[in-house]
Amino acid sequence: MAVLFLLVGLLAELIGGVLLGMALARSRGRTAPSVVELDALLAPVRENIESLRRAADGANRDRAAAESAITTQLTAVQERYAGLEEATGQLRLALAGGKTRGQWGEMQLEGLLDHAGLLEGVHYRRQGLRDSGTRPDIVVLLPGGGEVLVDAKFPFDAYWQSISETDETRRAEMLRKHAADVLARARELAGKGYSDVSTSPDFVVMFLPLESLLSVSLEADPLLLEKSFERRVVLATPTSMVALLRTIAFGYQRQLMAENAEEIRAAGAEMLSRLGTLSEHLDGMRRGLEQAVRGYNSFVGSYDRQVLVQARRLHEMGVEAPKGVAGAEPVAAEIRVSGSAVPRDA
């Protein structure tokens, strides 16, 4: 619209300039330009005005398209915001109960267990009933024996109220309340005596599935970690929890390597034992061959001394045989004997 007003103003100025030129020409006694001449003078003006009009039309179309796109995007943002508000409300209702919070914390914890490469039923189990009747959410088995007990229930109400609180004083009060709730939960876990009835280390892990659940607590109470440690409760967020689980998974890998090395050693010992038995058989065969060679050579010597001498004498006496009697050659080859043997285990 502003471009259109500019065009109209420019046209008015041009026409006024032409009329003023005609009036000045009359006042000076000159002949006013004819209609044809005036039309020729205004032709460039009309062309420029037409170009400006086309440009203004294009600008108006672009503006309308941009306004339509912005309207569409704003509508989508409003719909997403409404959906986010609904989902947030549902999440708040879902996390309002301690049991539901524990289930959600377990889901987050199981994701970390899977990420660390630990398998349920092999490296951990869920909700193993202890002798005292307490139920840790996850029991992580340690390589070589022992276990780490993890509880996934966590305080949330005061933290949630602090997020939506706009008043700084009220927000600080809610954060202090959240820190107190975390410490109270640590006291509750300490009172269950998990480590007294298990082979776990002397602590229980309290899993907080959001990093901010711990960070805002420490802002409100910098001694919160120390107070929890005194009660043999370790506060763990996803970052520290995945580090612990990856360390346990590494221990399993080292244990598997050690077991494989022991199996290789046992298999090698069995192989050497079988080779020893085979060597005994070969030695027996060697002794048998040597005895056979000695017996053969003894027979050849006796055959040459006892039989062939008498056969020659009969031949000299004119006894003719259909076949000649040939002598036998002794065996001169030696049987190779190994120079060393593999020693047996004591």
- What pLDDT does residue 9 have? 59
pTM above 0.85, yes or no: no
Q: Give residue 184's pLDDT.
A: 92
The alpha carbon of 339 is separated from its chain's Cα centroid by a whole number of angstroms, namely 56
Q: pLDDT grade, residue 66 (50/70/90)?
A: confident
Nearest to 49 by CA among 16, 18, 6, 2: 6
Q: What is the mean pLDDT of residues 311-318?
A: 74
Q: Which of 132-136, 196-200, 231-235, 324-328 has the highest mean pLDDT?
A: 231-235
Res 52: pLDDT: 75
Q: Which amino acid is at 325?
A: V
Mean pLDDT of 304-330: 72
Give the per-residue pLDDT at 131: 45
Q: Is the pLDDT at 134 greater than 80, yes or no?
A: no
pLDDT band at 14 (very low <50, low <70, confident <90, very high): low
pLDDT of residue 132: 45
C-alpha distances (whole Å) from 269 to each of 32, 229, 258, 276, 338 are 126, 49, 17, 11, 21
**Predicted confidence (pLDDT) per residue in 252-276, tens digit:** 888 888 878 878 888 888 888 888 8
Question: What is the predicted pLDDT for the residue at 336?
Answer: 63
Domain ranges for the chain, please list them: 2-89, 99-252
End-to-end alpha-carbon separation of the chain, Å?
107
What pLDDT does residue 179 have?
92
Contact (Cβ atoms closer than 8 angstroms) between residue 193 and residue 134: yes
Q: What is the pLDDT of residues 201-227, one digit of tens each?
A: 678 899 998 898 899 999 999 999 999
Alpha-carbon distance of 181 to 159, in angstroms, equals 10
